[in-house]
């Protein structure tokens, strides 16, 4: 079925007991030795790094992005599998997806149980990722986990410990894996890929600030004072905060800081419904609503815009372009009537054809 390159980055799938807890220390060949390789698939391993994924930096992620592009420069490579820690997998996968312009798949996977666990999920996930990389085309960057295939965009870790760890709370998965084949349920509409960014000496700082009862602008202002070029405001509800936060956002955007607005709610879009500090006012103050992207991926979207341009207006344009194009899959209708309740409905714009079976 093809030649697959496995890029190993660490995570639980590569972790062993360290005396007081688990940490990544196995190389890619050791990880690969645990998994059954699908028939007619040849494997090459790239040991990029081996760290617990909460320790990943922007430099790590940009290095991974560039490595993916270097591997795909070889026309004889049929696909890539990235083994990655689950804590930040959603961020790295989305970064690669934003710059992926190739029909050949890049499939991220990992594990919830460590390398030596007798009932570990890593071997099965790795086999499924290899099968997905060898038999699918034109789906962008994917996450293969617990017998399911998800598109990178919108997919987040939804379970801390359970094997079925990933999902898009606002959308459907791409497909299922079982009986030696991948069943593709839908084909996502994908925006045009962004140009590969350079490797800056010092990556731009992008911070997250969460709103909650009694929250004030202290942390948002502190992020700006610390040199943040971008901020993700993790608001309540459909994207709401307070008038004081609105004022801080207006001050930050006036200084050229790129502010994205998401929500701490698991599913559904950010929507301009409420004033008195709500999304209506935050957007008017310059915050860019991120649709259904949650905090980690919203941060990657902001980071990507900062890496793409230096002018604040151009950065804002790039961020809005990324978010606007990617919302083509899920149209959000927000109907409001003065003095009455607001009805918000997310409509799938791409249910897709009946399941397409790809035989291994």
Q: Active-site residue numbers?
A: 12
Q: How far apart are CA 249 and CA 325, in angstroms?
A: 24
Q: How far apart are CA 149 and CA 177, in angstroms?
A: 7
Q: Which of 225, 226, 287 is nearest to 262 (CA)?
A: 287
Q: How far apart are CA 78 and CA 74, in angstroms?
A: 9
Q: How many residues comprise the chain?
A: 360
Provide the strand spans (E) within 12-153: 15-17, 22-24, 41-51, 79-83, 106-109, 141-145, 148-151
For residues 235 and 283, is the Cβ–Cβ distance under 8 A? no
Structure tokens at 227: 């040199």
Q: Which of 127, 288, 300 is nearest to 197 (CA)?
A: 300
Bridge pairing between strands 106-109 and 79-83 = parallel
Q: How far apart are CA 319 and CA 302, in angstroms?
A: 6
Which residues, 6+ apart, have CB-to-CB distance to 170 below 8 Å? Answer: 154, 267, 268, 269, 292, 330, 346
């Amino acid at each position: 079925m093809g030649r697959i390159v496995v890029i190993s980055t660490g995570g639980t799938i590569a972790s062993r007991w360290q005396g007081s807890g688990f940490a990544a220390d196995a190389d890619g060949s050791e990880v690969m030795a645990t998994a059954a390789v699908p028939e007619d698939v040849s494997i090459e391993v790239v040991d990029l790094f081996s760290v617990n994924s909460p320790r990943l930096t922007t430099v790590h992620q940009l290095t991974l992005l560039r490595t993916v592009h270097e591997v795909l420069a070889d026309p004889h490579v049929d696909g890539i599998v990235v083994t990655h820690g689950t804590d930040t997998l959603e961020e790295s996968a989305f970064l690669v997806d934003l710059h992926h312009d190739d029909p050949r798949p890049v499939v991220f996977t990992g594990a919830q149980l460590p390398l030596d666990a007798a009932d570990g999920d890593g071997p099965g996930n790795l086999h499924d990722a290899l099968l997905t990389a060898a038999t699918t085309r034109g789906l962008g960057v994917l996450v293969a986990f617990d017998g399911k295939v998800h598109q990178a965009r919108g997919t987040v870790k939804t379970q801390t410990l359970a094997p079925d760890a990933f999902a898009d709370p606002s959308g459907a998965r791409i497909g299922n894996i079982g009986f030696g084949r991948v069943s593709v349920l839908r084909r996502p509409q994908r925006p045009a890929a962004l140009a590969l960014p350079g490797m800056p000496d010092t990556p731009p700082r992008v911070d997250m600030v969460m709103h909650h009862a009694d929250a004030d602008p202290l942390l948002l202002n502190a992020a700006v004072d610390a040199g943040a070029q971008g901020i993700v405001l993790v608001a309540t509800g459909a994207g709401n905060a307070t008038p004081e936060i609105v004022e801080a956002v207006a001050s930050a955007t006036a200084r050229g800081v790129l502010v994205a607005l998401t929500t701490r709610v698991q599913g559904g879009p950010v929507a301009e419904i409420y004033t008195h500090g709500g999304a209506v006012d935050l957007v008017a103050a310059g915050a860019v609503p991120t649709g259904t992207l949650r905090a980690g991926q919203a941060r990657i979207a902001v980071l990507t815009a900062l890496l793409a341009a230096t002018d604040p207006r151009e950065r804002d344009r790039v961020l809005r372009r990324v978010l606007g194009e990617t919302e083509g899959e899920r149209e959000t209708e927000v109907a409001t009537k003065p003095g009455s309740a607001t009805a918000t409905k997310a409509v799938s714009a791409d249910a897709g054809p009946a399941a397409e079976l790809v035989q291994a």
